[in-house]
Structure 1
Amino acid sequence: MHEKYHHIVSIIDFKSTGFNTVFVKVNGYDAESGQKFEGEVKFLDGMPFGDLIHPQRSSLSPTCRHKVRSYLLNKYQDGEFN
């Protein structure tokens, strides 16, 4: 029987610096690669940026990168970083 693992994303901290900018520190587990990860994503005017979610710079698997980006974007849009 095969066990299926899931990506895990946790928000550690966040800080608003004004000028519509929020830095969010996250950690988690990439189920595809079997590796833990930690990093930071910057929201500028509601858009997420950072190496952690960048398609060419991220060490995360594509599915985990998408999960992290979607999760944080949903949290941002729900006003959880205000």
Structure 2
Amino acid sequence: MKTGVQIVDYVEQGRSLYIQLKVVDAETGTTVEGEVRFLGELLYGELVHEKKSPLTDTARIETIAYLKAHFGR
């Protein structure tokens, strides 16, 4: 994984899990901060949205894989 993902904070409320994170996109060298949310097994948020994400496709996909593995969802 070339993308750096740092979990700043998270809170679980029922089936929802809100995650504050920082992502370092290795391809562009930029750091992006934002929030994503798991609702059950589904992951939502602008950082991981296919068309709205400020991350490159590689960084976005690696971030999704990391979060799913880290939180077991």
- The residue identity in structure 2 corresponding to 1:60 is L
- The residue identity in structure 1 corresponding to 2:3 is H
Shift of the alpha carbon at 1:75?
A: 1.2
Shift of the alpha carbon at 1:56?
A: 0.3
- The residue identity in structure 2 corresponding to 1:8 is G
- 1:46 maps to what in 2? 41
Shift of the alpha carbon at 1:59?
A: 0.5
**Pair 1:10-2:6 in alignment:** yes
Q: Distance in 2 between matches of 1:7 and 1:22?
A: 22
Which secondary structure state, in structure 2, belongs to the residue aligned with residue 72 of structure 1? helix
Write out the 4+ residue segments of structure 1 that deviate beyond 2 Å after TM superposition: none
**Pair 1:24-2:19 in alignment:** yes
Structure showing greater radius of gyration is 1
- 2:63 maps to what in 1? 68
Q: Distance in 1 between matches of 2:65 and 2:32?
A: 16
The number of residues matched between the two structures is 72
Shift of the alpha carbon at 1:53?
A: 0.3
Per-residue CA distance 1:6-59 (angstroms, 9 max, x = gap): 3100111101122x0010111021011110111111000121111100010000
Structure 2, gaps ≥5 residues long: none
| Superposition RMSD in Å | 1.2
- Please give the TM-score of this superposition, normalised by the length of structure 2: 0.91
